[in-house]
Amino acid sequence: MTAHTLDELLADGVRGRHVLVRSDLNVPLDGSTVTDDGRVRASLPVISKLAEAGARVIVLAHLGRPKGMPEEKYSLRPAADRLAELASFPVRLAGDVVGPSAQELAAGLGDGEVLVLENVRFDAHETSKIDAEREEFARELAALTGENGAYVDDAFGAVHRKHASVYDIASVLPAYLGELVRAEVEVLKRLTEGAERPYVVVLGGSKVSDKLAVIDNLIGKADRLLVGGGMLFTFLAAQGHKVGSSLLERDQIPTVQAYLERATAAGTEFVLPTDVVVASKFAADADHEVAAADAIEETTFGEAGIGLDIGPDTAKAFANEIEGAKTVFWNGPMGVFEFPAFAAGTKAVAQALADATAAGALTVVGGGDSAAAVRTLGFADSQFGHISTGGGASLEYLEGKELPGLTALGA
């Protein structure tokens, strides 16, 4: 089975046809304010192409994790409003998912107009473990398109979910691969199938348990694995160092020790921090000082000290490793970048990736918190080779897992 592309759909003609587009509008919010519109901007090109070609576009998306029923804090209105601000075509938001509002507005769509359905996860059938329930919901979604509908999956951030609007719908309507999903797959294939060397992977974020499978799959493929973020303390503990009150997954220490031993034989080098920014507490205004990675409890804070960023020497060392690379994948901030006092490590890595991009390297920012961090810290998307819209999906792809949404499309 070979995936059908958006270009094929456009060539067949879409004027006057209803086209369901699964987009990723799962944006971070501060109340009703979108704090990072990267995913909305990334979704716009495919929606625009279809609207400009005369399609009657119905956008499916989720936001957060509502429990199968409407919750105002998870409404797609802020994301839909932002889409409307960026778009050159009319955008409306339905008051429900497949109910009277969605049915009436879908039927009334004109050529080149766009309707965003409310959060698909407001219907419990979207995420049901029971195949028949998801299939029923997929048919209800398809019914909104009338007799000549089509489906385009452009939400890479959701392709690792076996959900009705991602997986089941592709067997109900003629299904096509969106350009955003296609681009993501092409980039990730370059990371997993013969990446140009030296190949450096930078991993951060809070928990090492979230990254174990991808670390396991990258040992022997990447030349160097640079470890920062909260997960670094489990690595330090695995080497026998004390980490104070820093985040520590004690139950993962044996696994990390095994990875460290295996990596050497496989030709992959773990590069761990040599210094850490240690704070008195987890707070933006906390007192802090730099300590050697093996002397965290020797700061003035003693055992109460908590590591919140990689130190300046480590930031320079990581930047040097990135500077010499031909391929770089980064997933997870180096520290608590939301607090200015603990953002220097993440900013140094982002700058190093930007410099590597300018020097001709393939650089990939792996979505999620990493994407939010580079924008928060003042970097432009264009400074990197690719910014993924799918943190979890990107990691699962790099783990070698089969992703249901891609399977359904034949991609």
* 361 and 252 co-located in one domain: yes
* 260 and 348 co-located in one domain: yes
Nearest to 183 by CA among 42, 50, 62: 42
Residue 281 falls in the annotated catalytic set: no
In a domain, 160, yes or no: yes
3-state SS class at 271: strand
**Per-residue pLDDT tens for 239-275?**
999 999 999 999 999 999 999 999 989 999 999 999 9
338 is known to lie in a ligand binding site = yes
Q: Which residue has the tokens 């410099």?
A: 355
Domain C-terminal end among 137, 160, 179: 179
Domain C-terminal end among 148, 179, 210: 179
pTM of the full predicted structure?
A: 0.87
pLDDT, position 150 = 98
pLDDT, position 372 = 84
Alpha-carbon distance of 94 to 103, in angstroms, equals: 9
* 229 and 130 co-located in one domain: no
* 214 and 143 co-located in one domain: no
* 175 and 231 co-located in one domain: no
119 is known to lie in a ligand binding site = no
223 is known to lie in a ligand binding site = no
* 174 and 192 co-located in one domain: no
> Which residue of the set 17, 22, 38, 39 is catalytic?
39
- Percent of the chain topping pLDDT 90: 88
In a domain, 407, yes or no: no
**Per-residue pLDDT tens for 6-42?**
999 999 999 999 999 999 999 999 999 999 898 999 9
Residue 305 falls in the annotated catalytic set: no
**Per-residue pLDDT tens for 285-317?**
999 999 999 999 999 999 999 999 999 999 999
**Per-residue pLDDT tens for 168-202?**
999 999 999 999 999 999 999 999 888 999 999 99
* 55 and 116 co-located in one domain: yes
CA 397 to each of CA 5, 80, 167, 266, 373: distance values in angstroms, whole numbers, following the listed order: 20, 29, 16, 21, 22
The pLDDT of residue 233 is above 90: yes
* 131 and 250 co-located in one domain: no
Confidence of residue 367 (pLDDT cuts 50, 70, 90): low
Find the helix or strand (DSSP H, E) in which 175 lies.
strand 175-177
Residues 6+ positions from 303 with CB-CB distance below 8 Å: 242, 244, 245, 297
In a domain, 12, yes or no: yes
Average pLDDT over residues 324-351: 96
134 is known to lie in a ligand binding site = no
In a domain, 56, yes or no: yes
Nearest to 329 by CA among 207, 214, 406: 214
In a domain, 393, yes or no: yes
> Which residue of the set 178, 368, 391, 405 is catalytic?
368
* 155 and 218 co-located in one domain: no
3-state SS class at 196: coil
* 344 and 203 co-located in one domain: yes
Domain C-terminal end among 179, 197, 212: 179
> Which residue of the set 207, 242, 281, 401 is catalytic?
207
382 is known to lie in a ligand binding site = no
The set of long-range contacts for 79-83, using a CB threshold of 8 Å and a minimum separation of 24, is 79/25, 79/27, 79/34, 79/40, 79/116, 80/25, 80/116, 82/27, 82/34, 82/37, 82/40, 83/25, 83/40, 83/43, 83/44, 83/47, 83/59, 83/114, 83/116
**How many domains are there within the chain?**
2
Strands 275-279 and 288-292: antiparallel
Averaged pLDDT score across all residues of the chain: 95
Does the bond joining 404 to the residue before it have cis omega, within 30 degrees of 0?
no
DSSP of 20-39, one letter per residue?
EEE------EETTEES--HH
In a domain, 404, yes or no: no
Residue 207 falls in the annotated catalytic set: yes
In a domain, 158, yes or no: yes
* 207 and 120 co-located in one domain: no
Q: Looking at the DSSP assignment, which residues form a beta bridge with residue 151? A: 20, 175
In a domain, 408, yes or no: no
Look up the CATH number of the domain holding residue 297. Answer: 3.40.50.1260
26 is known to lie in a ligand binding site = yes
64 is known to lie in a ligand binding site = yes
- Print the domain residue range for 62: 6-179
* 122 and 169 co-located in one domain: yes
pLDDT, position 38 = 87
Nearest to 169 by CA among 60, 75, 92: 60
**Per-residue pLDDT tens for 44-62?**
999 999 999 999 999 999 9
Strands 114-116 and 150-153: unpaired
pLDDT, position 371 = 85
The pLDDT of residue 1 is above 70: no
Residue 230 falls in the annotated catalytic set: no
